[in-house]
Amino acid sequence: LTRDQLDQDTWDEVEETLLAADLGVGPTQELVAALQRRTRVEGVSDVAGARALLREELLALVDPTLDRSVATHVADDRPAVVLVVGVNGTGKTTTTGKLARVLVADGRSVVLGAADTFRAAASQQLQTWGDRVGARVVTGAENADPAAVAFDAVKHAVDEGADVCVIDTAGRLHTKTGLMDELGKVKRVVEKQAPVDEVLLVLDATTGQNGLRQAQVFSEVVEVTGIVLTKLDGTAKGGIVIAVQRELGVPVKLVGLGEGPDDLAPFDAEAFVDALLD
Amino acid sequence: MFTSLSDRLSATFKNLRGKGRLSEADVDATVREIRTALLEADVALPVVRQFTATVKERALGVEVSKALNPAQQIVKIVHEELVGILGGETRRLRLAKTPPTVILLAGLQGAGKTTLAGKLALHLREAGHTPLLVAADLQRPNAVDQLSVVAERAGVAVHAPEPGNGVGDPVAVATSGIELAKAKLYDVVIVDTAGRLAIDADLMDQLKRVRDAVQPDETLLVIDAMIGQDAVQTAAAFDEAIGIDGVVLSKLDGDARGGAALSVVTVTGKPILFASVGEKLTELETFHPDRMASRILDM
Ligand SMILES: Nc1nc2c(ncn2[C@@H]2O[C@H](COP(=O)(O)OP(=O)(O)OP(=O)(O)O)[C@@H](O)[C@H]2O)c(=O)[nH]1
Ligand SMILES: Nc1nc2c(ncn2[C@@H]2O[C@H](COP(=O)(O)OP(=O)(O)OP(=O)(O)O)[C@@H](O)[C@H]2O)c(=O)[nH]1
Ligand SMILES: [K+]
Ligand SMILES: [Mg+2]
Ligand SMILES: [Mg+2]
C-alpha cells in the first residue's frame, strides 16, 4: 500500500495482495468488505491506518489464541502417536524427520514408522532422516501393507517405552478413494495398539485453491488435528490455510522453512500475517 | 464451492435477452465473472488481467439475440482463447540430429521430476530408444536410490557414480553422464536434478552450471498442477535463469483446476509438452490444450 488517501486503487491493491497470497476470491472479498466497513465506521482515511486495520483483521482470522501445540506428550505410560499425511511431494517425510529432530533435542526417545512402502526409496529416505536425527526407524518390505508397518512401529515404540512414535505415510491425492481408504485403515489398525494423538496434514505453501479440498477430504478420512505448512522459505505465502482454518477449524501448528533438519518452526500468526502483507 | 463459468455468466445475463449488442456495462460484468472463475482455478492474477483484456474486446462484439445464448457465446470465446494460448505451439519432444539427445529436468521441490525421468525413459525405451538416466540430485535424501529404482522399473540404465545425500558434485556427474552416453551409445540422456526454490541463488547457479555442462536439447520445467499464484514467479525465474524449452504439468490426475497451466505458458511463452497423471511410470500423456481449457473453466 503506497498511496496516502484511501480510494478505489487502495482497495484494488489490498485485493491484489490477498489474492496473490492464495487467500482465494471469497475470503479476499469478505476481508476487503470488512476493511471498508471498519475504515468508514472508525473514520480512518489514510493508507497507513487502513493497513494497520487490515493486519488486525487478518490476525483475527488467523487467531493467535488458538492452541497450536503438537500432542507429543499425552501420557506417561505410553508413547504419543503422530500420523503424518498429505498429497504427493508436500514434505511429509522431511517434516517427519525434522519433527523427530526437535523431539530428540528435547531429550525424548522417538520411533519413526516408514509406512510409505510404495514410493521408490521412500523408506531409505526416512532411514536417512532417522540416522541424521537419532531416531529409530521401523520399516517394512517394499509393497508391504502400510497399516502393518505402522502397527509394527507403534508396537515397537510401546514395547521400548519410547516417548513418541511418528508415522510417515505415502503421498496420495485426496481424490483416490482406494488410497484414502488405505490411509483410514492405517489409522484404525494403529489404534488397536494405541490412540493416534495427532494427525498432521502437510500442505505445501505453493498450493492454490486445491488445498482446501485436500484438507476437507483428509479430515473426513483421518480427522486432521493440525496443519504443517511447508516450503514457506520460498516466494509463496500459503494463504490457503486461512480458508482451511476457517472452514475446518484446523489450525496450522508448524511451518517448514527449508530442507535441513532444523528448518521446522512453530506457526507464528504475526510473522505469517506480516509475510503475507509484505 | 466453485460454480462453472457458464453458470456464473447465465446468472449475469438473465435479463439480457433481445437487447442487441452487449453494452459496455454488460461486458464489464462479464469480465468480472471470468476473472473470478479464473482466479478460483488458480490462474495467476497478472495473467488473469492480461487474459480478460483480450476477451473483453471480443465480448463487446457479441450479439444478444433471442436465438443465441450470450453466456454460452462468451464461454465459447473464453474457451477458444484459452485453447489458443495453451495450444499455440504444442509440439513433441525434440530429438537431437546427432545423438545423444539431452533432456534436463528442473523444478521446485517435490514437483515430480524424478518420477518424470522414469516416465520419459519408459516412453522413449518403448519407442525404440536407449535412454540413460543421470542422477544429478545429490542433495535430497536418497534421491539417487529413488532414481535407481525408477530406472530399474523403466528397464533403462542409470548413471549414479555418487551416493548423494550431500556427497558429490552434480556438474561433474552430469558431465560424466554425457561422456558415458557417447561412449556406450545411449541415444537419450535424461538428467534428474535436485528440487530448488527459484530464489535460492546458489542452487540456481548450480543449475546453470549443470545446463552449461550438458548443453540440453530440451530443458523441461516440471510444475505441480496444484500450484497457485506462485506459478508465475517460479516459471519466470526458472526461465530467466536457465532458459526452459517446455513445461510438464504433473499430478493432473487430481481435481486441481490447473490454472497454473495458463500462468506458466503466458509468462514463459513455452509450450506444455506432457501431462503427468499418476505415480506409475506409464501414467504420462501428451498435453491436450482443449481438455485443459475445459478443466480450467470447469466444463
Ligand atoms: N524449501 C523447502 N523444501 C522442502 C521443505 N520441506 C520439504 N522440502 C523438500 O520437498 C521435497 C519433497 O519432500 P518429501 O519430504 O520427500 O515430501 P513427501 O510429502 O514425503 O513426498 P512423497 O512421500 O513422495 O509424497 C524434498 O526435496 C524436500 O527436501 C521446506 O520446508 N522447504
Ligand atoms: N498423483 C501423482 N503423483 C505424482 C505424479 N508425479 C509425481 N508424483 C508423486 O509426487 C511425489 C514427488 O515426486 P518426485 O518425482 O519425487 O518429485 P521431485 O520433483 O523429484 O522431488 P524432489 O527431487 O524432492 O524435488 C512422489 O510421491 C511421486 O510419486 C503425478 O503425475 N501424479
Ligand atoms: K514465503
Ligand atoms: Mg514421503
Ligand atoms: Mg527428485
Write the CA distances from B148 to A39, B114, B143, B250, integer angstroms: 60, 10, 9, 21
Position B88 confidence tier, pLDDT thresholds 50, 70, 90: low
**Average pLDDT of the segment spanning B268-297:** 96
- The residue among B119, B165, B279 with the most chain A CBs within 10 A of its CB, best to mutate, is B279
ipTM: 0.97
Residue nearest to atom 24 of ligand 2 (CA): B110
Q: Are the C-beta atoms of B249 and A82 separated by less than 8 Å?
A: no
Q: Which atom of ligand 1 is the closest one to the Cα of B194?
A: 27
**pTM flag (> 0.95):** yes
Write the CA distances from A3 to A55, A261, B5, B46, integer angstroms: 17, 42, 34, 21
Residue B61's pLDDT is what? 81
> Is the per-residue pLDDT at B5 higher than 90?
no
Q: Which residue has the cell 510404495?
A: A118
Q: Which residues contact residue A232 at a Cβ distance below 8 angstroms, ignoring those fewer than 6 apart?
A: A205, A238, A255, A256, A257, A275
- The residue among A88, A90, A127, A174 with the most chain B CBs within 10 A of its CB, best to mutate, is A88
Q: Tell if the CB–CB gap between B227 and A16 is shorter than 8 Å.
A: no
Q: Identify which of A97, A121, A211 has the shortest CB distance to residue B146.
A: A121
Residue B6's pLDDT is what? 79
Calpha distance B46→B232 (Å, rounded): 8
Percentage of chain A surpassing pLDDT 70?
A: 99
Contact residues, chain A, for B197 at CB < 8 Å: 231, 233-235
Q: Which atom of ligand 2 is the closest one to the Cα of B195?
A: 25
**Average pLDDT of the segment spanning A177-187:** 98
The DSSP code for B271 is P
Position B66 confidence tier, pLDDT thresholds 50, 70, 90: low
Q: Which residue of chain B comes nearest to A260, CA vs CA?
A: B140
Cell numbers given for A45: 482515511
B24: buried, middle or exposed (CB in 10 Å: 19+, 13-18, 0-12)? exposed
Calpha distance B87→B83 (Å, rounded): 5
Q: A136-168: per-residue pLDDT in tens?
A: 999 998 889 999 999 999 999 999 999 999 999
Pairwise pLDDT comparison (B87 vs B9), residue with the higher score: B87
Calpha distance A221→A232 (Å, rounded): 26
Residue B73's pLDDT is what? 84
- Report how far Cα A249 is from the mean position of its chain's Cα atoms: 13
Q: Which residue has the cell 477458444?
A: B80
Cell numbers given for A39: 475504515
Q: B105-148: per-residue pLDDT in tens?
A: 999 999 999 999 999 999 999 999 999 999 999 999 999 999 99
Q: Give the strand pairing for B272-276 and B284-286.
A: antiparallel
CB-CB neighbours of A59 under 10 Å? 15
Calpha distance B216→B104 (Å, rounded): 6
**Average pLDDT of the segment spanning A217-240:** 98
Cell numbers given for B225: 498442477
Q: Give the strand pairing for B157-159 and B63-64.
A: unpaired
**Mean pLDDT lowest for which of A130-134, B66-70, B254-258?**
B66-70
Q: Where are the alpha helices (DSSP H) in B155-227?
A: 170-184, 201-214
CB-CB neighbours of A108 under 10 Å? 17
Residue B287's pLDDT is what? 95
The DSSP code for A46 is B
Residue B64's pLDDT is what? 67
Q: A245-278: per-residue pLDDT in tens?
A: 999 999 999 999 999 999 999 999 999 999 999 8
Residue B67's pLDDT is what? 56
Calpha distance A52→A60 (Å, rounded): 12
Q: Identify which of A22, A128, A173 has the shortest CB distance to residue B228.
A: A22
Residue nearest to atom 14 of ligand 2 (CA): B112
Write the CA distances from A133 to A108, A113, A255, A267, B144, integer angstroms: 12, 14, 18, 22, 21
Cell numbers given for A109: 526417545
Q: B201-245: per-residue pLDDT in tens?
A: 999 999 999 999 999 999 999 999 999 999 999 999 999 999 999
Q: How many angstroms separate the alpha carbon of residue B97 from the centre of ligand 2?
A: 31
Mutate to test the pocket of ligand 2, among B250, B252, B284 (most ligand atoms within 8 A of CB): B250
Q: Tell if the CB–CB gap between B226 and A204 is shorter than 8 Å.
A: yes
Q: Which residue has the cell 491436450?
A: B288
The DSSP code for A251 is P
B195 Cβ below 6 A of ligand 2: yes
Residue B16's pLDDT is what? 63
B122: buried, middle or exposed (CB in 10 Å: 19+, 13-18, 0-12)? buried
Contact residues, chain B, for A234 at CB < 8 Å: 108, 197-199, 230
**Average pLDDT of the segment spanning A1-7:** 69
> Ligand 1 pocket: which residues have CB below 6 Å?
A 86, 88-94, 116, 119, 122, 170-171, 202, 230-231, 233, 256-259, 263; B 109-110, 140, 195, 197
Contact residues, chain B, for A175 at CB < 8 Å: 253-255
Mutate to test the pocket of ligand 1, among A128, A259, A267 (most ligand atoms within 8 A of CB): A259
Q: Which atom of ligand 1 is the closest one to the Cα of A257?
A: 31
Q: Tell if the CB–CB gap between B149 and A121 is shorter than 8 Å.
A: yes
Maximal C-alpha separation, chain B = 73
- The residue among B35, B156, B229 with the most chain A CBs within 10 A of its CB, best to mutate, is B229
Q: Which residue of chain B comes nearest to A17, CA vs CA?
A: B45
Contact residues, chain B, for A19 at CB < 8 Å: 39, 45, 229
Ligand closest to A129 (CA) is 1
Q: Are the C-beta atoms of B166 and B138 separated by less than 8 Å?
A: yes
Calpha distance B269→B267 (Å, rounded): 6
Residue B90's pLDDT is what? 65
> Is the per-residue pLDDT at B17 higher than 50?
yes
Q: Which residues contact residue B127 at a Cβ distance below 8 angstroms, ignoring those fewer than 6 apart?
A: none
Q: Tell if the CB–CB gap between B145 and A124 is shorter than 8 Å.
A: yes
Task: Please tell me the number of Cα atoms within 13 Å of B250 on its side-chain side.
Answer: 28
CB-CB neighbours of B260 under 10 Å? 31
> Is the per-residue pLDDT at B12 higher than 90?
no
* E strand intervals along chain A: 80-85, 110-115, 136-138, 164-169, 198-204, 226-230, 252-256, 264-266
Calpha distance A271→A277 (Å, rounded): 10
Residue B1's pLDDT is what? 43
